[in-house]
Structure 1
């Protein structure tokens, strides 16, 4: 129906309409603040993927509580990193890959895209293999077929995103995250954890080069490069259904502050859940699998869990592993699309990309590669890719020209650069140990 009230006095009506629109935009986030939660939960799935399971179980079974501190420190780093990624997308209206694509020359942009794609491929290998192992444990399905089924189910999840949009996809991923949490926390409640030794594990230390390698693997599994790239895009897109202007310059500063506050809650809650799950996996392995033969593989760890804690806990664990693989591989494919679109301005349908990125994992399964070894090494590759995502993120969010009044405070920027230094130092140590050993 036409709005005849606007006809007699168009100039006044335009002013009133503009003021009403602005007021509606300001009210929208307050009226449905909870609706802004979700992007960080999607990113958090990357922090509890099958690579985490392999790295954390291996660390706990071989070295007990020694490396608890690695998970605590890594998760604290992740909270800061993911918030900065969300902040970048929200304040600038562009993803991290987009901003890099705008600033890098053609050769540098392509080289950066290539390393980011290698990281995405390593991510996908871990997630598909994890899903295949879970299907094998639950139903005896051969690993190659399990990988194929995992890929097919992840395609169905991506169809939800393609046809229904981001929010329904978030709901499905959050549901899977709940299953993951139950699957990996259940065993902790029936394990005899030595809490005194666990507390001692908060003191940073190593025991030989192998623990450095494991720490790098745990770091790569906890601070995920593809999640850094993806979260900026998720945050950029998330506010649009609420009527908030797409262009950041059209927002008032109070509105942006409210959106950032919602993002802080989103990141904080989701990563506390992810961190708790990761620490629970290590504590479970340290308490129930320490010194048990064969626990250097997920299959062996599952068998040991069944022996020590019963078949029920073992089944719940395998279900959690399956949910982890299905959710994480879908998120990984989504992240790869964001990376490609931002850096080389090419869009490939998510389902097509899913098919292509499934191939390396299926090849590894077909040739009989030790799946747990492949999982742990994929996390090492991810660890090497973290600086490439993290350094530009810190530099961009610390740019007053780009971020305006929402530039990182000096304290935040200092802590962020300290995180970069720690991660780079660990990666240098990893390379030295790997090639000297």
Structure 2
């Protein structure tokens, strides 16, 4: 049953006094603006023009519902999704298997974020990729230390500040070279061109509906509202209403930026040689739109890597604690999870290809996070009077089915070499 004692019922909580309750969704929303998103959307726009606009829009609509359900679970139960599953999955080996796939998804996320930060530092300052990855990891450790020692509110302020830099960095180019309105409208028609476009669609969805963001959001609301004085909090119902606004703002920002990246590539990089890498895309943007826009793009990429890797590390720690009841210090865990990304950078593997492939891994992890989330939030024994409405559950089921179907098609294409 929900922990209704988490907050005390209150009536007439003014909206202007509720502004301080916003924030958890914006932090979780940074996961939708990580370097993997940049690579996937940039590649999609450069290779297929406006073809996959509909995938970005559909993914963002799905993300709104998913993130709201995750936040609701954390608010009503006072537990994160991994914590709830840790108590519901009674079989020890099944729980460990579930943790393993969630951990692999978190690691894939971390790889994308560290690689993106390394590439950005290389573009801005000429820093070698391996050193850039180490610097990105070091900054994330500082941010995580702030979250641990200063509390969730200070962490939110820093992440939201980085989000503002991300928005400016990735949207600025559209004011210099706006996309073709007819092309954008045509891109809203759902379709694919070939198997590679399906691969990119899965990559975009993996970067948009991110499994670790589902795990993280429930933990963020738990930490944020559980750390506030109970006397200052409104009722659960009011918190849920505020959370809907929080999620809406976060998803509008994330969706707009993701769409802007694809449109920027579609309008300026289509047919340009070498744009299948972040470095090549940066060079093409600089040549086409000028050095200022190119620099802003690189700065946005750096902010994306720094913010998202911190949120990803937070999610990974929560996954381990919730499912295995093992509390490894976040900073120690951060050092260990940096190793795969640093190895990839050290051996010279193409960073952009690694980014895109990491998003495909994320796409396969979506059902394992989404199906339990929809199931739990539809159960009265879990959320009590705050259980999902039938329409909400139906939409969750439809979204899960669509994502699972796309992943199955992608697996078939890869297996057959189509």
Which TM-score tier does this pair reach, normalised by the shorter chain?
Answer: over 0.9
> Post-superposition shift, 1:294?
0.4
- Aligned residue for 2:19? 34
1:97-176 to 2 correspondence within 5 Å?
97-104=82-89, 105-176=91-162
Shift of 1:245: 7.6
Q: TM-score, normalised by structure 2?
A: 0.96
* Residue 3 of structure 2: aligned partner: none
> Displaced runs of 4+ in structure 1, greater than 2 A?
25-32, 240-246
Could you tell me how far 1:241 is from its partner in structure 2?
A: 4.3
1:199 and 2:181 are equivalent in the alignment: no
Partner of 2:383: 403
CA-to-partner distance for each residue in 1:282-333, whole Å, 9 max, x for gaps?
0000000000000000000000001100001000000000000000000000
Match runs of 1:407-418 below 5 Å: 407-418=387-398
Equivalent-residue separation in structure 1 for 2:13 and 2:270 (angstroms): 52
More displaced, 357-366 or 186-195? Answer: 186-195
TM-score, with length taken from structure 1: 0.91
Mapping for residues 23-422 of structure 1, pairs under 5 Å: 32-104=17-89, 105-244=91-230, 255-422=235-402
Deviation at 1:22, TM superposition (A): 5.4
Shift of 1:119: 0.3
Shift of 1:244: 2.6
Q: Paired residues, what number?
A: 410
Q: Verify the 8 A CA contact 2:30 2:307 in the aligned structure 1.
A: yes
Unaligned stretches of 5+ in structure 2? 1-6
Tell which structure's C-alpha radius of gyration is larger.
Answer: 1
Q: Structure 2 CA distance, aligned partners of 1:30 and 1:243?
A: 18
Cα deviation for residue 430 of structure 1 reads 1.0
Separation in structure 1 between the aligned mates of residue 288 and residue 386 of structure 2, nearest angstrom: 52
Decide whether aligned partners of structure 1 residues 203 and 31 sit closer, same or farther in structure 2, where only a CA change above 3 A counts: closer
Q: Deviations over 1:332-364 (max 9, x none)?
A: 000001101100000111110110000000000
Would the alpha carbon gap of residues 245 and 350 (structure 1) be closer, same or farther in structure 2, given more than 3 Å must change? Answer: farther
Q: Which deviations, in whole Å up to 9, do the C-alpha atoms of 1:154-199 show, x marking residues without a partner?
A: 1111111011011100000000000000000001111141111111
2:411 is the alignment partner of 1:431: yes
Deviation readout 1:83-123 (Å, 9 max, x if unpaired): 00000111111110011000112111111001100000000
**Shift of residue 237 of structure 1?**
2.0
* 8 Å contact from structure 1 (residues 192, 288) kept in 2: no
The answer as to whether partners of 1:28 and 1:243 remain within 8 angstroms in 2 is no
Partner of 2:4: none
Residues 29 and 259 in structure 1, CA contact (< 8 A), matched pair in contact too: no
